[in-house]
């Protein structure tokens, strides 16, 4: 089991329960999309899974360990096996793209190699390969603070691909990327997870992307799981209920309506 959540809650200091007694199990190699309206608790849940936040109640198993019962060294080792892509990747100003990607393996490299890589990139070819999967290899030596939000997100994904973690967590990884490229990037994440049998948990704003790429969809609302189903069993009524608080329709890329084909399987709109 990659992830085991047993009545996990997280209350922020103001007492608001952003995640409320969530239980679920995610097996090794599973690919799960988390969808839900803004404020549902998607980011909080992913940060709990990444061991960046400590649950206020409940127990959590990550890659076979309870992170909050480990000593510091073992916890650091566990974290090096987890790859998290933030919605707005935290990258030091003036850092070059190549260095940002290579930083993915800092937790695995001996200290001397990590230090060296800050001064002189030790594996330019490896970084370039991951960037080309994100169609951004031309930015290899660009400074990160000169990139757009969407380009930075793609660097964040390239970094996690380079890291080769056992658990990939991504928080709205393509929220600033245009639809055709979003499809490509979410596809690459899925291909990576399949090829290496690693677990992938991604929160996504665009429901069409989630339904198209992921075999398991978790609908999160007000910190609780509303449904946990394969995409074919996620009905329009469930989606409407999930997004009831958002006055507009179910969010998709470009706000194009979900296309319902005769089999009942919803398809994402096609982008050329």
Ligand X SMILES: Nc1ncnc2c1ncn2[C@@H]1O[C@H](COP(=O)(O)OP(=O)(O)O)[C@@H](O)[C@H]1O
Residues engaged in binding ligand X (CB under 6 A): 12, 14, 16, 18, 36, 38-44
> What's the min distance (Å) between Cβ of 38 and Mg ion?
7
Kindly tell me which of 43 and 252 has the beta carbon lying closer to Mg ion: 43
Kindly tell me which of 12 and 68 has the beta carbon lying closer to ligand X: 12
Pattern 25-64, Mg ion, x by CB under 5 A: -----------------xx---------------------
Report the SS3 class of residue 216.
Answer: strand
> What's the min distance (Å) between Cβ of 249 and ligand X?
18
Burial of 36 (0-12, 13-18, 19+ CB in 10 A): buried
Kindly tell me which of 43 and 190 has the beta carbon lying closer to Mg ion: 43
Residues 6+ apart with CB under 8 A from 197: 28, 29
Which residue is associated with the tokens 């909050």? 68
1, 26, 90, 117, 136 from 100: Cα distances, Å: 30, 29, 10, 10, 13
Q: Which partner from the list ligand X, Mg ion, none does 16 bind, CB cut-off 5 to 8 Å by kind? A: ligand X
Q: Please tell me the distance from the alpha carbon of residue 158 to that of residue 102, in angstroms, as a whole number.
A: 9
> What's the min distance (Å) between Cβ of 155 and ligand X?
21
Checking 115-121 for CB contacts under 8 A at 24+ apart, the result is 121/96
Kindly tell me which of 43 and 253 has the beta carbon lying closer to Mg ion: 43
> Which chain residues interact with Mg ion by CB under 5 A?
42-43
């Amino acid at each position: 089991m990659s992830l085991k959540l047993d009545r996990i809650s997280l209350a922020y200091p103001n007492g608001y329960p952003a995640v409320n007694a969530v239980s679920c199990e995610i097996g090794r190699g599973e690919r799960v999309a988390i969808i839900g309206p803004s404020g549902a608790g998607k980011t909080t849940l992913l940060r709990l899974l990444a061991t960046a936040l400590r649950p206020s109640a409940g127990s959590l198993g990550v890659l076979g360990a309870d992170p909050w019962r480990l000593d510091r060294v073992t916890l650091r080792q566990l974290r090096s096996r987890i790859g998290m892509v933030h919605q707005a990747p935290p990258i030091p100003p003036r850092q070059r793209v190549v260095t940002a990607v290579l930083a993915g393996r800092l937790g695995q490299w001996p200290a001397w190699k990590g230090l060296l890589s800050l001064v002189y990139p030790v594996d330019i070819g490896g970084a370039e390969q991951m960037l080309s999967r994100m169609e951004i290899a031309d930015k290899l030596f660009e400074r990160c603070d000169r990139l757009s939000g969407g380009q930075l997100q793609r660097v964040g994904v390239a970094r996690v691909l380079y890291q080769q973690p056992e658990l990939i967590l991504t928080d709205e990884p393509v929220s600033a990327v245009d639809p055709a490229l979003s499809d490509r990037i979410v596809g690459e994440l899925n291909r990576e997870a399949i090829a290496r049998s690693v677990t992938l948990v991604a929160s996504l704003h665009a429901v069409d992307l989630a339904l198209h790429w992921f075999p398991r969809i978790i609908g999160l609302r007000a910190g609780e799981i509303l449904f946990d189903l394969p995409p074919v069993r996620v009905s329009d009524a469930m989606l409407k209920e999930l997004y009831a608080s958002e006055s507009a329709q179910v969010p998709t890329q470009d706000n194009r309506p979900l296309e319902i084909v005769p089999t009942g399987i919803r398809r994402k709109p096609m982008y050329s």
